[in-house]
Structure 1
């Protein structure tokens, strides 16, 4: 089965790009962990360079990846330029990278553009995490944090972003995406009940966080079941 390394940019003492009290490090941590859980739901192993708002140096990130063998290394970021002057998504590979990283970058770029982000293209860059990692590597800039339109897309289409990124990554490792399904339960007094599944999580804290979101949306009978 495929094994991936996810890298969430910045963190801790380094918030990354900021705008109107919004921090890149928080945006990519929240989104990236959700993508990781969705990919794990399909049996893929995902290791993460950080899982909290912690400071992780560039060398620590590449060293983390180099300690194991991964099919792909994917670094999550958000862009910035001048307030409200630039927008869109772009995906990077290393200079003259191989076919695998270019293919994954194009899948990711196409999937995000389809959600309404401006297409800034697949590009090459001499970034540390692309240069110093062993696996085919890509770095995603998911919209400009200093652009209101991109932030609105990032927030309003968060679940769709998670889904299309998971689908693109899974397709690259030749795994078909499976939609979460409602599982039929035994009949109760002549009536069939259908229980809605919103996710499966390997970490209890992620399950607790999702349960809190579901209950805050008004579904008070939601609960966690371990398997």
Structure 2
């Protein structure tokens, strides 16, 4: 987008950008803007229209190897993904119904953008842009609303705080602007300019994958704070934890998964590789993480430990690490096991390892944590 700005207010060094700021959760804190609306209860999602600026025949700013329409869309798609994860993750954050004015590199007019938002109608409108100017010395972050002293301005201010804290670029402050998408939308609307693509220093930071993630998180944290929620990073898929026991052939069994644990349409498969071949094993699961010494390894699962049907590792001959165990946890399995939407499940593979005798002839994988969704 062509340069829009205000006088610089503060300067952050490059070192701060390359440090923890890009990977942290909200750097601003959990304060909530007093004029912001209350967070809605679960079951009443906030309608958010995300507007990746430019697109198609309108490239926007282009410099230092970055085209604005592309980076706008990349940030917007990740923001949508984070908001969708936040909706599924009931441990914190809010509940959102998300649409976008464009999802690919297509031309969408300004009128079409505002019309889409108004016709839905959206509760909030977030337009994502990056700046450009003829002078490469122009740099920094600025965020706009149509007028000051409004709900839009309250949303603008918290999102701006989060972006500045996340990226560490020069802070150009916030301002009111007569942009079409801010003027013609009937709901509170904000337009962000995270940095200048024409600034070599800004561009070097903005093109980093960590910066894309940081900016998307910052937009989400600002929206969460605006609705009275503490900044919260939702769980982004299953994660492993705990330490596996080394098997008798010297391999380390490794737990993993594919798919999603959904009560309505689960395609989750939990597997274990590098298992001793031609042995029986089973998956154990519970509702708490544990780190307890057991049989020369570590028990990673607690709170109502349960077992699943016995599986066979197969493999290429006996006594090597070519075995594999896996269990399909379809919706029928999740429901019959009493798993509930929103809860975390912890699981671990156990298998026989006779060659360890006279030590306990038991193999144990690391642990896997996943969240059940509706």
Residues 160 and 188 of structure 1, relative CA distance in 2, 3 Å threshold: farther
Say whether residues 1:17 and 2:61 are aligned partners. Answer: yes
Q: Deviations over 1:84-124 (max 9, x none)?
A: 221101000003461x2111111111111113111001100
Partner of 1:208: none
Any residues of structure 2 matched to 1:20-59 within 5 Å, and which? 20-43=64-87, 44-59=96-111
More helix, by proportion? 1
Partner of 1:76: 128
Query: Could you tell me which of 212, 218, 240 is aligned with 1:164?
Result: 218
Contact 2:64 2:203 in 1 (8 A): no
Distance 1:94 1:141 in 2: 14
Q: Per the alignment, in what secondary structure is the counterpart of residue 56 of structure 1?
A: coil
Contact 2:148 2:175 in 1 (8 A): no
Contact 2:64 2:200 in 1 (8 A): no
Q: Which has the larger radius of gyration?
A: 2
Partner of 2:153: 102
Say whether residues 1:186 and 2:359 are aligned partners. Answer: no
Contact 2:139 2:195 in 1 (8 A): yes
Contact 1:24 1:77 in 2 (8 A): yes
Residues 29 and 196 of structure 1, relative CA distance in 2, 3 Å threshold: farther
My pick for the range that moved more, 24-33 or 105-114, is: 105-114
Distance 2:115 2:149 in 1: 20
The offset of 1:150, in angstroms, is 1.0
Partner of 2:143: 91
Count of residues in correspondence between the two structures: 199
Contact 1:71 1:135 in 2 (8 A): yes
Contact 2:47 2:123 in 1 (8 A): yes
More strand, by proportion? 2
Distance 1:147 1:195 in 2: 43
Q: TM-score, normalised by structure 2?
A: 0.50
My pick for the range that moved more, 5-14 or 164-173, is: 164-173
Answer 1 or 2: higher relative contact order, Cα 8 Å, separation at least 6.
1
Q: Per the alignment, in what secondary structure is the counterpart of residue 73 of structure 1?
A: strand
Say whether residues 1:114 and 2:287 are aligned partners. Answer: no
The offset of 1:187, in angstroms, is 3.4
Partner of 2:340: none
Q: TM-score, normalised by structure 1?
A: 0.80
Any residues of structure 2 matched to 1:126-141 within 5 Å, and which? 126-141=178-193
Contact 2:142 2:160 in 1 (8 A): yes
Structure 1 outlier segments of 4+, above 6 Å: none
Distance 1:174 1:81 in 2: 36
Q: Per the alignment, in what secondary structure is the counterpart of residue 120 of structure 1?
A: strand
